[in-house]
């Protein structure tokens, strides 16, 4: 049998998700000199090219072989909406298998930020969230997460200095790929983003928080708390049936002790559900225990859901209550209000 194995039997290696040492092994197996690995890695993660033909210091034959054996993960810009108010851009990207995810590009005084998705859909079922309505389709690979950032950089021609994993999906439900993604993104031989400028947001999967704490990374962990009591939290977040707030506090305390990084508490304010002054009081107590910063997000109403945000006054009163108790609190600046606001809405429009 001299025939080669039919292409569809070969499990294709996702070359852009490989760490440098892994890429070296692959290149060696191809019978190429080791330094080629460094060149290819640089083309992918520093020069951010999207086609092997742009890797001009490789021979034509090698480029052709790579193209056939290890196709590069690239995303297709299916749609993009730009806010006339603040230049925020919301992208809808098509993945190689046809699935879609959203990413958002935001300009701040301190630099540009990209919010990326970690999964296609989500299985966490938070009641106010559009991303979870049709459940989880699949998790994203490390390269598909990187490529959201790289595609935005190519499209805008601007540098990105902050990355938040707060788009569609639950990062802790895609743990290994998230850690791989983080390591590639912050690799000094790669895009070399500062680890401190990466934020990962979780609905509160306790074992994931412990595992991440032991990983030795310098990222910022954001916890979507959204309610200050277990009883209330269970009415809007199914994950609260699995882990209690006191377990979360313990896990976050461990995270802080291990990493020295303060947690951010995210709190989506929903009128009549979690925005009373008593809620502010209870939330303040939790934040103090953790030394956490609180980020208030006036809930974005989602067509399929009937949660509404409170009045400006109600939101201010909630914030004032927290500040009176010496909590560190911000109201999330709302970007791109004139384009499809809430997370997962652009993708839903296409489904």
Residues with a catalytic annotation lie at 102, 343
Residues of this chain, 235-294, that bind ligand SAH according to CB under 6 A: 266, 268
For residues 265 and 300, the answer to whether their CB atoms sit within 8 Å is no
Q: Is 300 in the site for ligand SAH (CB under 6 A)?
A: yes
In the complex with ligand SAH, which residue's Cβ is closer, 147 or 170? 170
Q: Is 296 in the site for ligand SAH (CB under 6 A)?
A: no
Residues of this chain, 192-211, that bind ligand SAH according to CB under 6 A: 201-203
Q: Is 140 in the site for ligand SAH (CB under 6 A)?
A: no
Residues of this chain, 28-87, that bind ligand SAH according to CB under 6 A: none
Judged by CB under 6 A, the residue of 128, 175, 243, 255 near ligand SAH is: 128
Burial of 137 (0-12, 13-18, 19+ CB in 10 A): middle
Q: Residue 84 corresponds to which tokens in the numbers above?
A: 């006339």
Q: Is 297 in the site for ligand SAH (CB under 6 A)?
A: yes
In the complex, least distance from residue 225 CB atom to ligand SAH, rounded to whole angstroms = 8
In the complex, least distance from residue 336 CB atom to ligand SAH, rounded to whole angstroms = 13
Q: What is the DSSP string of 79-142?
A: EEEE-TTT--EEEEEE-TTS-EEEEEEEEETTEEEEE--SEEE-SS--TT-GGGTT-EEEEPPH
In the complex, least distance from residue 153 CB atom to ligand SAH, rounded to whole angstroms = 22
Q: Residue 35 corresponds to which tokens in the numbers above?
A: 């330094």
In the complex, least distance from residue 264 CB atom to ligand SAH, rounded to whole angstroms = 10
Q: Is 339 in the site for ligand SAH (CB under 6 A)?
A: no
Q: Is 302 in the site for ligand SAH (CB under 6 A)?
A: yes
DSSP E strands, the chain: 76-82, 89-94, 100-108, 111-115, 119-121, 136-139, 162-165, 198-202, 220-224, 264-269, 293-298, 328-331
25-to-146, 236, 310 alpha-carbon distances in Å = 22, 47, 56
Pairing of strands 76-82, 89-94: antiparallel
In the complex with ligand SAH, which residue's Cβ is closer, 15 or 299? 299
Of 269, 309, 341, the residue nearest 104 (C-alpha): 341
In the complex with ligand SAH, which residue's Cβ is closer, 300 or 327? 300
The full length of the chain comes to 351
Q: Is 141 in the site for ligand SAH (CB under 6 A)?
A: no
Q: Is 212 in the site for ligand SAH (CB under 6 A)?
A: no
Q: What is the DSSP string of 39-52?
A: HHHHHHHTS--SSG
In the complex with ligand SAH, which residue's Cβ is closer, 66 or 100? 100
Judged by CB under 6 A, the residue of 174, 343, 346, 348 near ligand SAH is: 343
What is d(CA 346, CA 193) in angstroms, rounded to the nearest whole number? Answer: 28
Which of helix, strand or coil describes residue 163? strand
Contacts of 277 (CB under 8 A, 6+ apart): 317, 318, 321
In the complex, least distance from residue 188 CB atom to ligand SAH, rounded to whole angstroms = 27
Q: Is 224 in the site for ligand SAH (CB under 6 A)?
A: yes
Query: Tokens 């790289």 — which residue?
Result: 150
In the complex, least distance from residue 180 CB atom to ligand SAH, rounded to whole angstroms = 18
Judged by CB under 6 A, the residue of 92, 126, 163, 287 near ligand SAH is: 126
In the complex with ligand SAH, which residue's Cβ is closer, 49 or 124? 124
Query: Tokens 């998705």 — which residue?
Result: 117
Q: Is 102 in the site for ligand SAH (CB under 6 A)?
A: no
Q: Residue 348 corresponds to which tokens in the numbers above?
A: 């839903």
Q: Is 299 in the site for ligand SAH (CB under 6 A)?
A: yes
What's the chain's Rg over C-alpha atoms? 22
Range in contact with ligand SAH (rule: CB under 6 A) among 16-24, 68-76, 126-134, 281-289: 126-134
The footprint of ligand SAH (CB under 6 A) covers: 124, 126, 128-129, 166, 170, 201-203, 224, 266, 268, 297, 299-300, 302, 342-343
């Amino acid at each position: 049998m001299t025939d080669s194995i039919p292409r569809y039997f070969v499990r294709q290696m996702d070359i852009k998700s490989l760490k440098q040492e892994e890429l070296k092994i692959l290149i060696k197996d191809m019978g190429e000199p080791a330094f080629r690995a460094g060149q290819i890695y640089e083309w992918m993660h520093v020069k951010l090219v999207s086609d092997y033909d742009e890797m001009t210091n490789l021979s034509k034959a090698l480029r052709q072989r790579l193209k056939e054996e290890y196709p590069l993960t690239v995303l297709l810009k299916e749609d993009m909406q730009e806010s006339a108010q603040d230049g925020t851009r919301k992208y809808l990207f098509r993945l190689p298998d046809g699935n879609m995810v959203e990413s958002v590009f935001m300009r701040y005084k301190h630099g540009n930020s990209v919010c990326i998705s970690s999964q296609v859909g989500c299985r966490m079922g938070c009641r106010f969230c559009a991303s979870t309505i049709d459940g989880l389709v699949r998790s994203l690979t490390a390269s598909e997460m990187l490529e959201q950032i790289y595609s935005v950089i190519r499209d805008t021609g601007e540098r990105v200095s902050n990355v938040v994993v707060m788009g569609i999906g639950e990062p802790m439900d895609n743990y290994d790929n998230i850690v791989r993604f983080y390591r590639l993104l912050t690799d000094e031989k790669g895009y070399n983003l500062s680890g401190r400028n990466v934020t990962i947001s979780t609905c509160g999967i306790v074992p994931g928080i412990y595992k991440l704490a032991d990983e030795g990374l310098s990222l910022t962990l954001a916890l979507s708390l959204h309610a200050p009591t277990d009883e209330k939290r269970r009415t809007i977040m199914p994950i609260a049936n699995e882990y209690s707030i006191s377990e979360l506090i313990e896990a976050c305390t461990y995270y802080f002790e291990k990493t020295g990084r303060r947690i951010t508490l995210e709190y989506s304010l929903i009128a009549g559900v979690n925005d009373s002054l008593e809620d502010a009081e209870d939330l303040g107590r939790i934040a103090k225990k953790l030394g956490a910063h609180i980020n208030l997000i006036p809930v974005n109403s989602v067509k399929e859901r009937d949660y509404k945000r409170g009045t400006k006054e109600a939101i201010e009163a909630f914030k004032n209550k927290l500040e009176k108790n010496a909590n560190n609190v911000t109201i999330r600046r709302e970007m791109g209000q004139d384009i499809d606001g809430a997370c997962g809405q652009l993708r839903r429009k296409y489904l």
